[in-house]
Amino acid sequence: MRDGYIYVKVYSDHPYFEMADKEGYITEHRLVVAQHLGRLLERSEPVHHKNSNKQDNRIENLELFTSLKALGHAVQDSDPHVGHVPASKLNQILKRIENMLKAGNLSLDDIEVTDETSAP
């Protein structure tokens, strides 16, 4: 277990080996969703734990997003004001992105940064 996530060791003959990091590990939640869909997940497709428990990898607790941008919107939608992300939540998001980068589940090329601020 790393960063609160459960990892599964897979070998080169495993059908989802392409999703593994350099050491041959896949986060269990990504593996569960990939097996459920019957396809490999792209690195740009984040899987979210609905109840925020990183060890609850039941399929009914997992959501697949088509991009990090979609994940960001889902987080914003849960706040009282659309577009407002409290500093504490922003720190959690940044930590999650940092962990995904370290684990090899994300590259900087997958992150789209836009300036959506507008003057009143």
Share of the chain above pLDDT 90, in %: 35
- pLDDT category, 81, cuts 50, 70, 90? very low
Q: Does residue 33 lie within any of the structural domains?
A: yes
Q: Does residue 1 lie within any of the structural domains?
A: no
pLDDT higher than 70, residue 4? yes
Q: Which domain holds residue 77?
A: 7-110
The single-letter code of the amino acid at 118 is: S
Q: Does residue 117 lie within any of the structural domains?
A: no
State how far Cα 25 lies from the chain centre. 15
Mean pLDDT of 47-52: 89
Q: Does residue 62 lie within any of the structural domains?
A: yes
Contact indicator for 85, 75 with CB cutoff of 8 Å: yes
Calpha distance 20→9 (Å, rounded): 8
Calpha distance 9→27 (Å, rounded): 9
Query: What pLDDT is stored for residue 30 in this prediction?
Result: 95
Q: Does residue 48 lie within any of the structural domains?
A: yes
The total number of structural domains that make up the chain: 1
Q: Does residue 18 lie within any of the structural domains?
A: yes
Mean pLDDT of 34-59: 90
Q: What is the mean pLDDT of the chain?
A: 79
Query: What pLDDT is stored for residue 70 in this prediction?
Result: 52
Mean pLDDT of 29-51: 90
